[in-house]
Structure 1
Amino acid sequence: MKHLAALNKYFISYKWRLILGLLFTAISIVFSVFQPIMVRQIFDLLSHNIDEYRILAHTGLVGIFRSDFTHVLAFYGISILIFALLSGFFLFLQRQTLIVMSRHIEYDLKNEIYQHYQQLDLNFFKMHRTGDLMSRITEDVSRIRMYVGPAIMYASRTLFLMVIIVYLMLKVNPLLTLYTISPLPLLALTIYFVNRVIHRKSERIQSQLSNITSIAQESYSGIRVIKSYIQEDASTKHFDEASEAYKESSISLAKTDALFQPAMALMIGLSVILTIFVGGIQVIQGNITVGNLAEFVIYVNMLMFPFASVGMVATMVQRAAASQQRINEFLQIKPEIVNTPGAKSSQLTGDIKLENVSFTYPHTGITAIKNFNLHIKKGEKVAVIGRTGSGKSTLAQLLIRMYDPQEGAVKMSDKNIRELALDGLREQISYVPQDVFLFSDTIANNIRFGDPTANIEKVQLAARQASVEKDILSFNQGFETEIGERGVTLSGGQKQRISIARGLIKNPNIMIFDDCLSAVDARTEKEIIGNLYAYLKDKTAIIITHRIFALFEFDKIIVLEEGRIVESGTHEELLSLNGYYSELYARQQRNEEEEVNS
């Protein structure tokens, strides 16, 4: 139960629903236990009046006796019906409070997990699979809902019913009560040992279910790769193996449950037998009446479902505990990138400094940036060029504070970005990533993601500046075209340009483009560069690329190699060095000439 203690805050939040639910449970049980009391009185009435009926059988008073006795039986019958209706009504209210409470807690817990996911840093998402994250917010939360709703409902009903019934039984005959409840210690031991097995198996099942979800999610996302490499059979086999493991674990748990339920029924049956046997002896000895024996038998039968539900509740609790343990593992992870105490928003002018910055990826141990120094003045346009793995994208991630360097400082407007509020920092920077991600929504809403308040005219202007407006207007629904998951209906170049439009519509003082033109053709690239040159006139811009934009007049071009600046200067200055930049430019020129000749 220590893992489930994390849910206590929700019970406090919905304490009135919980209290009312428990109150309705108690009232429902009180009305239900009146029924066996009525049955006892009927049996005793019949027993006491049999002799009287025999005496009056041959007299003229028998008719009156029958009439009066019939009215009495009718009264008891109607009373039993009324108590049953009242019990059912409060049982309905019980479900309306406790089950509805569980839905509210499910809603709050999902929101808490989702919000926590969004606060965690990139390193967390690199270490955990998407399918596992989804499984914890769906399957695990669903199992927890079964604990905060049905499990509590059944457990409270069982507890109240046992307390009230045992109290009433003790008032009638303590000895018979002792025999009736004697199987309970054995039942408790059975529950204890079986619960340990259920918890272990439930934890394994949830982990395997998470694995299945991850495999399925990766297969759906990478279906084009699977098909192009003809790996459908291998993918299916991989999924089948995971499903088989999950099936075997689920069957094993089902077998445990199958053993548990008959054990409950055996205990109940044993109680009934003991009640009838010992109760019959008590009746013969005159210690109790026949009505008392009937009352005891009904009490035992009333306890049948609660006792039987003990196994179900135990399973719910153990599964919920295993799920909550998995959720707690994530909720207890603290994001490394957070607002430092006293962090404030500040207007960024566009002046950027990196002073002796070094950064190593914690999950791989790879040092991406080493003793890095760079000063970008307000309004400057800087190109960052380098081979794959040279640290270009890492530099961009540091500037928007997706990571913090282990050494050195990143400053904007002469302030360490750790002293700036995260929202304020990222709000003033447009970042167009290398890995384009579009949402399953309209094109307009994907562009508007950079500025949710933008009207359609602003959206169209951003698309025009990104040289994608003509492509969009060629679609039947134009800007209202649904692009599917991750923009699957668009070409690579179209997705990149929509991503650029998303960055442009934000209109900040600082813009970072991370190799975002790799999928466009040379003609479109020149058009975009021309538009960007005018758009970025008064802005600080960092363009990370593996190509050289000769038409774009950069204030500074830096060449990275293994996280260090190995070349720096203007286009002409770098060509004169005859280094990596000069080699790259010559190779690019030859490729362009070959394309023209072909």
Structure 2
Amino acid sequence: MVARMGTFTRICRYISRNWPLFLVSVSCILVSTIVSVQVPLLIRAAIDNVITPLAENRLEIELGKSTLFTLILEIIGLTAVVGLFSFIQRYANTYFSQKVVYDIRNDAFASLQNQSFAFYDKTHTGQLLSKVTTDMDRIRRFLGFQLTFLISSIILLIVTLYTMFSINTMLTLFILPIMPCIFATFYSFGKKIRPLFTQMREQYGSLTSVLHEAITGIRVVKAFAQEDFERKKFASKNDKYFQTTLASAKIRALYIPLVGFLIGLGTIIIFWYGGFEVITGTLTIGTLVAFNAYLAMLVMPMRFFGMFISGYHRTMAAGNRIFEVIDAETEIKEKPDALTLPKLKGHVKFENVSFSYRKGRPILKNVTFEAKPGETLALLGATGSGKSTIIRLIPRFYDASSGKIIVNDYDVRDVKLKSLRKQIGIVAQETFLFSMTIKENIAYGKPEAKMDEIVAAAKAARAHEFISTLPKGYDSRIGERGVTLSGGQRQRIAIARALLMNPRILILDDSTSSVDVETEYEIQHALRAVLKNRTAFVITQRVSTIRNADKIIFLEKGEIVEEGTHETLMAKKGAYYQIYQTLYETQKPNVEAVSEHTSSKQEETEQ
């Protein structure tokens, strides 16, 4: 409960930022409630002062009509006032609830943007999406409906009970015992349904996660003909969610009729006791009718109080999940006195660097090497040897467990992250392009770039030619992950995106691993031009790229086993020699094709 109160306190802090809107909403509730309670009194007056006297011939017809018409106009007027204030209240409350959620959502997204890769490594995407969407909507509905309804119910309960006691104390006392019964019923309902709602929320998050994976990995699913497996996996999660939903529906189906019975019992008490009072002449028919109307008004707060407890706990559970995101501490933090990194020359040094994603499972072990400005380093090794980890440590996506990573004589942990990453260009193996225009994708790292800069970067990446053939050129919009473009075209746009930032350090993670000969030639040609005067780290299995590197680092199980140029390592005839021979034999047709393609292109150029 302490945690729940802590969550509610956090939400209240967001509410306090928008207190004028909240105050307007509460004021309108107060006015509309007080006015609405007057309507049964006017109905009582119409019955006792007009309808009953007319039926008993104690009132002139014309006077009765005039009085009844006046009362009807008053009821219409009160209803209009209630409607007006309800409109203002709903608008103000909607604005208020949306604004609070807007602030929370922005804070949650800002926290997600600040998180390190380690956070995403251990967090399911579906769960995050559920927190930022479904849980956020839960809070919006709590603020927009339940919180204001709670305030409205409290005001309605106080005003209605005061009015009932002022009219007939005994009849009110006869009805009151029903109220705790109704409240207890709804409280019991909330207690039973609450854990089911928690399960539903967790199961919905799992369902979303499975759906997201199935859609994102649809190519892999179809490539391995695993549609049935994915269907069964989704159906299993969906069935659990369905069964929990049915269980909650069963509880609702049980409790709602029970409440209806209690309300009916209250009506019976009113007409039983009130009927005798009317017969004896101590109670008017109008008062009896008004009391029945007030009973209906009392049921609403009682019903809501019981349900509010369930809704409150559901909302606090959702809020707790959201604040877990907001409060999540990033593992990569800048020091308070972090320095702004000056323009890089491209000098990178690893000094006895060790790293583990999980304790007890080292990925890098005392790695030491140096990359001089303008050098191209090829990182080679089997899967899991630590190649990708090295390139992730340079821009400080992760922190080394021990040792130092030095860039231009600065420890990367001593500089501001933005000043470091702005000077490093990265082309990942799996190219991600946003659902924006090609121009916007290339300028993603430098939104203020001018058009001639964007075109120059595209030309350097050998992308300008195919972009120019598109219907809208650089303004052509591409879909998520660039699905409307070929693999090679996506890679070249990614290279252009990296080059536009004019990085002194360029990281290429297996950027030609899955392209054809023509595309490989285009990318290789682009890379030869752009790697000049830049320090480059290249992860690749392509022999054509490896042998052109200034230095090759061969890794095994997180350790450097060989280091040097292609010629010196081949002369040693060690581990590199063996793997190179294997790669060359495997890629020989492509290597020769690229060489022939290069020669023919050169001949065309000379002619």
TM-score (structure 2 length as normaliser): 0.89
Q: What is the aligned counterpart of 1:186 among 175, 181, 184?
A: 181
* AA aligned opposite 1:338: K
Q: Which deviates more from structure 2 when the two are superposed, residues 206-215 or residues 34-43?
A: 34-43
Alignment-derived partner of residue 353 in structure 2: 357
Matched, 1:582 2:586: no
Preserved contact between residue 190 and residue 307 of structure 2 (Cα < 8 Å): no
Q: Using the alignment, how far apart are the partners of 2:174 and 2:109 within structure 1?
A: 53
**Residues 5-47 of structure 1 deviation map (CA, whole Å, 9 limit, x = unaligned):** 4321221122111111111011011111111222233344349
- Summarize the alignment of residues 151-166 of structure 1 with structure 2, pairs less than 5 Å apart: 151-166=146-161
**Residues 61-112 of structure 1 deviation map (CA, whole Å, 9 limit, x = unaligned):** x8xx444443333222211111111111111111111122222233333322
Q: Using the alignment, how far apart are the partners of 1:40 and 1:594 within structure 2?
A: 98
Q: Tell me the secondary structure at the aligned position of residue 511 of structure 2.
A: coil
Q: CA deviation at 1:286?
A: 5.5
Q: CA deviation at 1:53?
A: 5.2
Q: Which deviates more from structure 2 when the two are superposed, residues 486-495 or residues 205-214?
A: 486-495
Alignment-derived partner of residue 603 in structure 2: none
Matched, 1:41 2:51: no
* AA aligned opposite 2:84: F
Alignment-derived partner of residue 506 in structure 1: 501
Change (3 A) 1:529 1:552: farther
**Residues 346-384 of structure 1 deviation map (CA, whole Å, 9 limit, x = unaligned):** 21332222222110012x853111112223233333222
Q: Using the alignment, how far apart are the partners of 1:47 and 1:486 within structure 2?
A: 74
Preserved contact between residue 195 and residue 318 of structure 1 (Cα < 8 Å): no
Q: Tell me the secondary structure at the aligned position of residue 452 of structure 1.
A: coil
Change (3 A) 1:236 1:554: closer
Q: Tell me the secondary structure at the aligned position of residue 40 of structure 1.
A: helix
- Summarize the alignment of residues 192-211 of structure 1 with structure 2, pairs less than 5 Å apart: 192-211=187-206
Preserved contact between residue 529 and residue 552 of structure 1 (Cα < 8 Å): no
Alignment-derived partner of residue 14 in structure 1: 18
Matched, 1:257 2:252: yes
Q: Which deviates more from structure 2 when the two are superposed, residues 476-485 or residues 229-238?
A: 476-485
Alignment-derived partner of residue 35 in structure 2: 31
Q: Using the alignment, how far apart are the partners of 1:586 and 1:156 within structure 2?
A: 78
Alignment-derived partner of residue 102 in structure 1: 97
Q: Tell me the secondary structure at the aligned position of residue 379 of structure 2.
A: strand
Q: Which deviates more from structure 2 when the two are superposed, residues 392-401 or residues 537-546?
A: 537-546
Q: Using the alignment, how far apart are the partners of 2:503 and 2:270 within structure 1?
A: 82
Alignment-derived partner of residue 321 in structure 2: 326
Q: Which deviates more from structure 2 when the two are superposed, residues 206-215 or residues 259-268?
A: 259-268
Q: Using the alignment, how far apart are the partners of 1:569 and 1:179 within structure 2?
A: 96
**Residues 207-234 of structure 1 deviation map (CA, whole Å, 9 limit, x = unaligned):** 1111111111111122222223222222
Change (3 A) 1:344 1:265: farther
Q: Using the alignment, how far apart are the partners of 1:302 and 1:124 within structure 2?
A: 50
* AA aligned opposite 1:356: N
* AA aligned opposite 1:360: S
- Summarize the alignment of residues 267-346 of structure 1 with structure 2, pairs less than 5 Å apart: 267-284=262-279, 287-310=282-305, 313-346=308-341
Count of aligned positions: 588
Q: Using the alignment, how far apart are the partners of 2:117 and 2:124 within structure 1?
A: 12
Q: CA deviation at 1:151?
A: 1.2
Q: What is the aligned counterpart of 1:485 among 480, 483, 490?
A: 480
**Residues 480-521 of structure 1 deviation map (CA, whole Å, 9 limit, x = unaligned):** 333322122333222222211211111022222222122234
Unaligned runs of 5+ in 1: 55-61
Preserved contact between residue 33 and residue 155 of structure 2 (Cα < 8 Å): yes
Change (3 A) 1:509 1:594: closer
* AA aligned opposite 1:349: K
Preserved contact between residue 146 and residue 316 of structure 1 (Cα < 8 Å): no
Preserved contact between residue 391 and residue 560 of structure 1 (Cα < 8 Å): yes
**Residues 148-186 of structure 1 deviation map (CA, whole Å, 9 limit, x = unaligned):** 111123222221111101011122232221211211222
Change (3 A) 1:306 1:466: same
Matched, 1:116 2:111: yes
Q: Using the alignment, how far apart are the partners of 1:528 and 1:300 within structure 2?
A: 79
Preserved contact between residue 447 and residue 459 of structure 1 (Cα < 8 Å): yes
Q: CA deviation at 1:447?
A: 1.8
Q: What is the aligned counterpart of 2:361 among 356, 362, 366?
A: 366
Change (3 A) 1:205 1:52: closer
Preserved contact between residue 543 and residue 584 of structure 2 (Cα < 8 Å): no
C-alpha root-mean-square deviation of aligned residues, in Å? Answer: 2.7
Change (3 A) 1:38 1:555: same
* AA aligned opposite 1:201: L
Q: Using the alignment, how far apart are the partners of 1:249 and 1:114 within structure 2?
A: 30
Q: Tell me the secondary structure at the aligned position of residue 436 of structure 2.
A: coil
Q: CA deviation at 1:288?
A: 4.3
- Summarize the alignment of residues 208-223 of structure 1 with structure 2, pairs less than 5 Å apart: 208-223=203-218
* AA aligned opposite 1:223: I
Percent of aligned positions with the same letter in both sequences?
35
Alignment-derived partner of residue 58 in structure 1: none
Q: CA deviation at 1:545?
A: 2.3
* AA aligned opposite 1:16: P
**Residues 497-549 of structure 1 deviation map (CA, whole Å, 9 limit, x = unaligned):** 22112111110222222221222345654554444344333322222223344
Q: CA deviation at 1:247?
A: 1.1
Matched, 1:494 2:458: no
Q: CA deviation at 1:569?
A: 2.1
**Residues 421-470 of structure 1 deviation map (CA, whole Å, 9 limit, x = unaligned):** 11121111112222321223333322222322223332232222222333
- Summarize the alignment of residues 556-575 of structure 1 with structure 2, pairs less than 5 Å apart: 556-575=551-570
Unaligned runs of 5+ in 2: 594-607
Preserved contact between residue 425 and residue 507 of structure 2 (Cα < 8 Å): yes
Q: Tell me the secondary structure at the aligned position of residue 303 of structure 1.
A: helix
Change (3 A) 1:583 1:72: same
Alignment-derived partner of residue 59 in structure 1: none
- Summarize the alignment of residues 385-424 of structure 1 with structure 2, pairs less than 5 Å apart: 385-424=380-419
Change (3 A) 1:250 1:588: closer
Alignment-derived partner of residue 516 in structure 1: 511
Q: Tell me the secondary structure at the aligned position of residue 351 of structure 2.
A: strand
Q: What is the aligned counterpart of 2:228 among 223, 228, 233?
A: 233
Q: What is the aligned counterpart of 1:448 among 443, 448, 453?
A: 443
Change (3 A) 1:465 1:481: same
